[in-house]
Amino acid sequence: MQVEAIIIVKGMVQGVGFRYFVMNLANRLGLTGSVKNLYNGDVEIIVQGDRSLVNDLIHEVRIGPRFADVRDVKVQLKQIENIYQRFDIL
């Protein structure tokens, strides 16, 4: 089943390679979407693909890259509206 997840990651997640970590993970899992820094210091991930693979990404995002300190992850699953062709850093 194909799903879209909007994920907000809170903590020390900017300036630690978090967006590149997410992009590499998404590409390895064959997922599409985007990742971007938000002005409040959070990171927003929009990811589309097979539900089990999206869950794998969410599991890894909760851990984060080496220098990140993930404090909270909020996930909203929804139906796919706009289809992404690849995974981008915005």
Residue 26: which domain range? 2-80
Mean pLDDT of 10-14: 96
Q: Which of 27, 28, 37, 55 is catalytic?
A: 37
- Does residue 19 have an active-site annotation? yes
- Asked, for residue 52, whether it belongs to a domain, the answer is yes
- Read off the pLDDT of residues 18-75 as tens digits, 9 standing for 90 and up: 999 999 999 999 999 999 999 999 999 999 999 999 999 999 999 999 999 999 999 9
Which residues pair with residue 9 across a beta bridge? Answer: 43, 73
Yes or no: say if 61 and 73 are a contact pair by the CB < 8 Å rule. Answer: yes
- Asked, for residue 87, whether it belongs to a domain, the answer is no
- Does residue 71 have an active-site annotation? no
- Asked, for residue 88, whether it belongs to a domain, the answer is no
pLDDT at 1: 86
CATH number at residue 17: 3.30.70.100
Number of structural domains the chain divides into: 1
pLDDT at 81: 83
